[in-house]
Amino acid sequence: MPIMSNSKICNATSCLTDLIFPRFCTLCFTPLSDKVAAKRDCDLCEGCIQALTVTAGFSCRRCGFFRPLEHLGCHMCEMRHYHFERNWVLGEYVNHLKRAVLAIKSSSGRPLANALGSLLSQKIDSDIDSCDAPVDVVIPVPTHWKRRLVRRGSSVDIIAQQIASTLNVRCLDRLIKVTRVACKQGTLDAASRRINVRDLFAIRQRKYAQDYCGKSVLLVDDIMTSGATLNELSLFLLRNGVRQVRCATVARGAA
């Protein structure tokens, strides 16, 4: 009786898994080969990855703002003082990525939030070079508990947990609390956004200070527009002993 090689057994097992537990693209629901999805570590088809990540402009290393290639400076960085050192972004807050960011806010969007977290973490992992200090800890931008209750959780937490898992660091998703229900930033102009988030954050448990004091933190959010929220939280963390703050956001919008 012929003996099957290990690779043939693996292929047969993979085909069987595809058949019993088929995987689908979380955005367009095209069936995915289990082997391809596992290799990418992300349940998105090639077409959707392209649609979500292809951008026409050049992303500013500091704030992630997309500008035309011919523009040398970043006017967003010239206008504002950011307390974080850089911002990794997946793409511009337009078209497919905009729809994806809106979709992950509902509880049914969790698989997509996971997939976006995977894509973003792969980008950070491939981009963080020897000049950059490694990330010590990941912190998601928190939402008020009342909003978490309405949305049944937080998509930003899911994205942050995915990034932390890829970078093999801890995700401190319960460290920071929001002290009041602020107006939605999207409804305000740039100046009002800064006032809206002033003194918005507090540390939930100071006994975990050793987890963030002197550490390099990666703040995670789904979208950055003016950067007021990320800036306020960065300043808060730096004042509380964090050594360095960098950010990762799924989409970058224009303020």
The residue among 20 and 72 lying less far from Zn ion, judged by its C-beta, is: 72
Instruction: Return the residue of 42, 60, 138, 171 that touches Zn ion, per CB under 5 A.
Output: 60
The residue among 48 and 97 lying less far from Zn ion, judged by its C-beta, is: 48
* Pair 30, 24: CB distance under 8 Å: yes
Which of positions 207-236 make contact with Zn ion (CB under 5 A)? none
* Pair 84, 219: CB distance under 8 Å: yes
If one asks whether residue 113 binds Zn ion (CB under 5 A), the answer comes out as no
Give the contacts of 235 (CB within 8 A, at least 6 positions apart): 83
* Contact range with Zn ion by CB under 5 A, out of 31-39, 63-71, 116-124, 242-250: 63-71
DSSP code of residue 82: -
If one asks whether residue 112 binds Zn ion (CB under 5 A), the answer comes out as no
Spatial separation of the C-alpha atoms in residues 22 and 243, rounded to whole Å: 45
The closest alpha carbon to 194, from 231, 246, 143, 149, belongs to 231
- ∠ Cα 100 33 110 (to 5°): 30
If one asks whether residue 74 binds Zn ion (CB under 5 A), the answer comes out as yes
Instruction: Return the residue of 37, 48, 113, 137 that touches Zn ion, per CB under 5 A.
Output: 48
If one asks whether residue 62 binds Zn ion (CB under 5 A), the answer comes out as yes
Chain-centroid distance, C-alpha 168: 15
Instruction: Return the residue of 9, 16, 28, 79 that touches Zn ion, per CB under 5 A.
Output: 28
Give the contacts of 39 (CB within 8 A, at least 6 positions apart): none
Spatial separation of the C-alpha atoms in residues 91 and 96, rounded to whole Å: 10
If one asks whether residue 45 binds Zn ion (CB under 5 A), the answer comes out as yes
Size of the site for Zn ion (CB under 5 A): 13
If one asks whether residue 65 binds Zn ion (CB under 5 A), the answer comes out as yes
The residue among 32 and 175 lying less far from Zn ion, judged by its C-beta, is: 32
The residue among 4 and 254 lying less far from Zn ion, judged by its C-beta, is: 254
What does the binding site for Zn ion look like in residue numbers (CB under 5 A)?
Answer: 25, 27-28, 30, 45, 48, 60, 62-63, 65, 74, 76-77
